[in-house]
Amino acid sequence: MLYPVILCGGSGTRLWPLSRDMYPKQFVDLGGGRTLFKDTVQRLTALKGAEEPLVVCNREHRFYVGASLLECGARGRAVLEPAPRNTAPAVALAAFAVREAAKGEDDDPLMLVLPADHRLQSPEAFAEGVEAASRLAEAGHIVTFGIAPSGPETGFGYIRQGEALGEGGYRVERFVEKPSEEKARAMLEAGGHSWNSGMFLFRASAYLDELRAFAPDIYACCERAWQGRREEDLFVYPDPKAFLASPSDSIDYAVMERTRRAAVRPLEAEWNDLGSWEAFYQVGEKDESGNVCQGDVVQENAHGCYLHGTHRLVAALNVSDLAIVETQDSVLVAPRSSIQDVKRIVGTLKASHRPECKLHPLVYRPWGSYECLVRGARFQVKRITVNPGAQLSLQMHYHRAEHWVVVSGTAEITNGDSVRLYTENQSTYIPLGTVHRLKNPGNIPLVIIEIQSGSYLGEDDILRLEDVYGRDGNKQTA
């Protein structure tokens, strides 16, 4: 049995301002509803005999995962980390989950571990590589997939191939950290090197045995976290205290660079981890001046630029080799040569407690989404979209009042003791401290404009009294 595992815990800081802590790059709409996470799920359809995917993600992202799986027609489950602890603990939780799911059918199933945020062309080559690697994994190897290098890339790690193992695979002789350009060119000239893709295939027991041998603290904490788990619909909640006690480490450092069972199976496929705006430039379609333009963009005498607009016109004049990325609340301008350093901006924003590093103006929730349109002193305006049949929690606020105006659809609004229907162009005022709820009883999306006013407008000013989605009573938004 083959169990695909999708690791979905990254925050994509190098893709700020489009990617945020609460809206990481794997869920960002790349156009037409397409996301990197959905691409990863759909890639699995090329595999023969694969089970439904298991996702490991931050619990704050669970509704993105649930909605995306539904849109892809998948029936997978999600293991929810209370906080990130890197890939070694994440894969350990997945291994315990896979063994539990396969109990009675396969005592030691295969796990295919995939990051949620990679671009991989040629699903046929991917499926062929997985099939060949499965035979290596069945023989006891812990297989990582290497990508045939197309150039002296300095942003990826490398794998040096050792003796041939059959099935197109090799023993891993050693892992090489991200090299200088000179060293990368030397490895390409020498041959026998692959880019380290971060994709793996192995038996659950093989990984857990090696983790217990080389990182016993991680193994013990994750085992306790799994034993103390709580399950709710498609979500699995490991014991938070046990999991948070685990050291944070990557699967490469904790296991792959120490085990003697490591093997690499090269893939002949176009691949990119899309970890920076430079990566998006490299894979993007370029105009005659070498520019990659996304959204509403006008350029005059611009050369070699990545120009990305989401809400407004982006105009570039007499510039070269820049990355310009615009969102509703932020604009990034940087030379492409230093775009890897965007995470330093994110660090500055975090140190200053700026919301732009954490929250995206468009936020998805289990009932729909909301988007901040205008924010000022003591007021905020949002557009709220509620899916057909969905409803927000029954709630109240301590520091703000709200005015709701129906733009389209039908709203069933609880406002204190009153429950009534509102239609297009009708509105209601909800005083501070009043219990209220918004529901869409119709068959089309409900869109309202919400005007908030008060001394504090943070998303943590909420007391939930009832919630059909099982969320905590005073965390996050409606």
In this predicted model, what pLDDT tens digit does every residue of 417-428 receive, in sequence order? 999 999 999 999
Does the pLDDT at position 150 exceed 80?
A: yes
Q: Tell me what the mean pLDDT of segment 69-84 comes to.
A: 90
Does residue 116 contact residue 209 with C-beta atoms inside 8 Å? no
User: In this structure, what are the phi and psi dihedrals at residue 43, rounded to the nearest 5 degrees?
Assistant: -60, -25
Q: What is the mean pLDDT of the chain?
A: 91
- Amino acid identity for residue 66 in this structure: G
pLDDT, residue 359, reads 77
The residue extents of the domains of the chain are 2-272, 287-342, 361-466
pLDDT, residue 407, reads 97
Encode pLDDT of 240-267 as tens digits.
999 999 999 999 999 999 999 999 999 8
pLDDT, residue 472, reads 63
pLDDT confidence tier of residue 476, bands split at 50, 70 and 90? very low
For 2-33, give one letter per residue: b (16+ CB within 10 A) or e.
bbbbbbbbbbbbbbbbbbbbbbbbbbbebeee
Percent of the chain with pLDDT over 90: 63
Does the pLDDT at position 114 exceed 80?
A: yes
The topology under which CATH files domain 361-466 is Jelly Rolls (2.60.120)
Q: Tell me what the mean pLDDT of segment 274-295 comes to.
A: 91
Alpha-carbon distance of 402 to 389, in angstroms, equals: 22
Kindly report the pTM of this predicted structure.
Answer: 0.83
- The closest alpha carbon to 281, from 254, 309, 308, 314, belongs to 308
Percent of the chain with pLDDT over 70: 98
Does the pLDDT at position 166 exceed 90?
A: no
Does the pLDDT at position 277 exceed 80?
A: yes
Q: Tell me what the mean pLDDT of segment 194-210 comes to.
A: 95
- Quote the Cα angle for 57-242-197, to 5°: 35
Q: Tell me the torsion sign for CA atoms 176, 274, 45, 75.
A: positive
pLDDT, residue 473, reads 55
pLDDT, residue 405, reads 97
- The closest alpha carbon to 343, from 283, 253, 275, belongs to 275
Instruction: Look up residue 225 and give its two tokens.
Output: 């976290």
Does the pLDDT at position 32 exceed 80?
A: no
The helix or strand, by DSSP H or E, that contains position 384, with its residue range, turns out to be: strand 379-386
Q: Of 103-117, 315-329, 461-475, which gets the smallest average pLDDT?
A: 461-475
Q: Is the peptide bond before 84 cis (omega within 30 degrees of 0)?
A: no
pLDDT, residue 478, reads 53
| Beta-ladder partners of 83 | none
CA distances, 191 to each of 162, 244, 478 (Å): 11, 42, 55
Helices (H), 245-378: 251, 277-283, 342-351
pLDDT, residue 123, reads 82
Does residue 463 contact residue 472 with C-beta atoms inside 8 Å? no
User: In this structure, what are the phi and psi dihedrals at residue 328, rounded to the nearest 5 degrees?
Assistant: -60, -35
Does the pLDDT at position 316 exceed 80?
A: yes
pLDDT confidence tier of residue 444, bands split at 50, 70 and 90? very high
3-state SS class at 206: helix
Q: Tell me what the mean pLDDT of segment 60-87 comes to.
A: 88
Does residue 143 contact residue 265 with C-beta atoms inside 8 Å? yes
pLDDT confidence tier of residue 233, bands split at 50, 70 and 90? confident
In this structure, the number of other CB atoms found within 10 A of the CB of residue 361 comes to 22
Does the pLDDT at position 37 exceed 50?
A: yes
Does the pLDDT at position 477 exceed 70?
A: no
Q: Tell me what the mean pLDDT of segment 220-228 comes to.
A: 97
**Class of 2-272 in CATH:** alpha beta
User: In this structure, what are the phi and psi dihedrals at residue 317, rounded to the nearest 5 degrees?
Assistant: -135, 125
